[in-house]
Each structure stands twice: as structure tokens, then as C-alpha cells.
Amino acid sequence: MTAKLSLGPVLFNWDAEVKRDFYFHIADEAPFDTVYLGEVVCSKRTPFFEPFLPEVIERLQRGGKEVVLSTLALIMSERELDSVRALAGNGGLTIEANDMAAVSLLAGRDHVIGPFVNVYNEGSLEFLENQGARRVSLPWELPSRSLSALASFATRELEVQAFGRAPLAISARCYHARSHGLHKDGCQFVCIQDPNGMEVQTLDGKSFLSVNGPQTLSHSVLNLISELEELQAMGIDAFRLWPHMIDMAKVAEVFRDVLDGTETADEGQRRLDRLVDFAPFSNGFYYGQEGAALVS
């Protein structure tokens, strides 16, 4: 079976119209099979993009993409829970659960398990498949031996994250607001200033992490272009690329070409080197090493 290519939800706070135009471009130009939409990181951002959602969904579907709606990764209030209940009750589109609350609400229905739900082993996978999950997007920190074990066991689709800053942690505290001397409640949405995340360096000037509101991502861009062949051979069905403020349609073309075998991984890597100018690549998690490492 041909491997599928997915575009994860935009994790950063992008201006709503910029985001709409980004998705229009993706809908028309990018070879994604699946596009995940929705606010995963901070519920305060949700209202800005909601007015554009129907036209974006329609355009993506017209472009032949499966649209999946992603839920929040950390749900701390009834208000946030209500938004997940509303999503779960939409009846139309498939939902990606990123928290056990969403898993609960979607039990017994067709749904996707997102990478913020901890699926580390066969027991968890089997339980979630029995609940109705038709695809499970696995955590980024799993090494190849775990991915391989899960792929031999799975009866539904497995997705692996193949490109983008790794979304390492989520918190109740907003570090973007904190770095601006603001409180979360009065954050002034300062996170919009950093469309690929706010750079965090060590005291000796080494780029380290990337802050996105209450989320902390890697500085490096996780990239498994050279591992795609091995992952496909294991039986991984889908590959997720996380959106960044670069030409994601071109990034998708690279992955599509390498997945289809029309281009070698080395050729694909050279194209990615030209497309990604804001951070180095890493693939350490896959090799069971520190995630920041680049194993060649």
C-alpha cells in the first residue's frame, strides 16, 4: 500500500488570515492525503480561526484531502472540555484525540489517536484500537525498535512524525507570556510574534528549544527522510509533517517523491536543506539516542 502523507495541525499562533491562505495553498498545491486542523496548544487562540474553518475545510476537501479535526493536548477546565465535546459531537469529520477526555468522548466511533496520547506499547494500542481508533499517531520519542514492534502488532493504521520541530512538552504555564513579563490571562497573544516558535538559547549562546505559548518544542527540526524506507518496510502507514512557516507544499513534495521512490533519500535531503533555513535537523529519537542528535 502506498504510504500516506499527513499535515499535522498548525501548533503555532499564526495570524488567522495568513493561516487561511496557508491552507488554501496546501489544498491546491500540496500532495497531502490528510490534513489535521484545529488548535492543539492554547484554547485562547481558538476563536480567531473559527470563522475561516468552514471555507478551509471545504477547500481542502475539494483538493482531495481527508480533513481531521484535532483536539487540545491539555484540557484543564470545563470550558475547554465543552469545546472538545462540541467537536466530538460534530458528527461529520473525523476527530483526532490528543487527550484522554477526547478518547473517552470518541469511544465506539471512528477516530484518530493523536501523538499527545501516550501509546508506547501493544497493550495501549490494542485497547485504543478496540475503542474504535482507526489510526494512531505515535509519540515522537519512540525508537525504531518500538515502532517496529508496534507496526507488527497493529491492525489499524500507524502514523509516525517525520518532519518538524518536536513538540516536547506542554504546560499550564505560558512561557511566551512569562518571557514578556505578562500573565497568561493578559497575554496579549504575544506568541503571534514567533510563527516558528520563540528561540530559547543556553547561557553560552547555543540554540536549544523553541517556545510556543505553553508548549516547548525542540529547536532542531525532526527529520526522518532518510529513514522513510525502513519505516515503510516496518509497516508504518502514514507520515506526519508538522507545519512551519516555510513552503510546506514543497516539503510535502520532497517527502512524497522519496516515499514513492521517484527520488532517493539523499536527493530529498538536499532539497530539504534548501527549504529549511531556521534550524538544523535531528533524528536521535529514532535511533534511541538523545532526540537532538543527528545520526547519519
Residue 265 makes contact with another protein by CB under 8 A = no
Q: Which lies closer to another protein via its Cβ, residue 27 or residue 133?
A: 133
Burial class (CB in 10 A: 0-12, 13-18, 19+), 250: middle
* Residue 262 found at the interface with another protein (CB under 8 A): no
Nearer to another protein, 171 or 262 (CB): 171
The minimum distance between CB 288 and another protein, in angstroms, equals 7
DSSP state of 233: H
| 280 sits near another protein (criterion: CB under 8 A) | no
Minimum CB distance to another protein, residue 230 (Å): 16
Q: Does 221 bind another protein (CB under 8 A)?
A: no
Q: Taking CB under 8 A as the rule, does residue 11 contact another protein?
A: no
Q: How far apart are CA 188 and CA 184, in angstroms?
A: 9
**Which of 79, 61, 83, 57 is closest to 71 using CA atoms?**
83
Among positions 86, 89, 92, 185, the unique one binding another protein when judged by CB under 8 A: 185
Q: How far apart are CA 101 and CA 116, in angstroms?
A: 12
Total of chain residues touching another protein, rule CB under 8 A:
75
* Three-state secondary-structure class, residue 284: helix
User: Residues 6 or more apart from 52 whose CB is under 8 A from it?
Assistant: 16, 17, 19, 20
**3-state SS class at 37:** strand
Q: Smaller CB distance to another protein: residue 67 or 198?
A: 198
Interacting positions 164-183 with another protein (CB under 8 A)? 166, 168-175, 178-180, 183
Q: Are 71 and 40 in contact (CB under 8 A)?
A: yes
Q: What would the x/- binding string for another protein be over residues 135 to 164, using CB under 8 A?
A: ----xxxx--xxx-xx--x-----------
Could you tell me the smallest distance in angstroms from the CB atom of residue 202 to another protein?
Answer: 4
Q: How far is the CB of 83 from another protein (least distance, A)?
A: 12
Question: Which residues from 102-141 bind another protein, rule CB under 8 A?
Answer: 103-105, 107, 116, 118, 120-128, 139-141
Nearest in space to 146 (alpha carbons), one of 122, 124, 129: 122
- Residue 68 CA, chain-centre distance (Å), reads 12
Can you say how many angstroms the Cα of residue 70 is from the centroid of all Cα atoms in its chain? 10
**Which residues, 239 to 258, sit near another protein by CB under 8 A?**
none
When asked if residue 61 is in the footprint of another protein (CB under 8 A), the reply is no
